[in-house]
Amino acid sequence: CTLDSEVALRVGGDFFFDPQPGDSPVKLVLIAGGVGINPLFSILLHIADLHGYQEGKGSGYTMGTVKLYYSAKNTSELLFKKNILGLMNAFPGKITCHFHVTQQSSQICKELQPHVTGK
């Protein structure tokens, strides 16, 4: 987003991401904390499927970029972190994630270090 961009927000409740082939591409920002990652991880997997379909067939919905911001107390509480890293590697520049930890007391593993900010 840039200054004065229009954005839509959904907080909690019943939500989903199900674009249709003729819909305009959108850029998504997903924000999760703790176990709140569950529905957003499902959306992220769907987005990966859309990117894979797009690359394989060249038709259907054209997916924009996705940025996931995910916070937890420490890296051990970041659910699905290996899966999320795998998606970022599979779709570089299309799916990105920034992890944030608030109470990390141990060393952060090398695989996560470039993607983690926090204490």
Q: For residue range 83-102, what is the model confidence (pLDDT) as tens digits?
A: 999 999 999 999 999 999 99
Strand partners, 97: 68
Q: How far is CA 71 from CA 4, 79, 90, 113, in A?
A: 26, 10, 22, 14
State what percent of residues in the chain have pLDDT above 90: 61
Higher-pLDDT residue of 54 and 41 is: 41
State the burial class of residue 39 (Cβ atoms within 10 Å of its Cβ: 0-12, 13-18, 19+): middle
All domains of the chain in start order, with CATH: 28-118 (3.40.50.80)
Q: What is the pLDDT of residue 57?
A: 63
Residue 77 has pLDDT above 90, yes or no: yes
Residue whose C-alpha is closest to residue 27's, from 6, 57, 13: 6
Q: What are phi and psi of 33, to 5 degrees?
A: -135, 130
Residue 31 has pLDDT above 90, yes or no: yes
Distance CA 106, CA 98 (A): 19
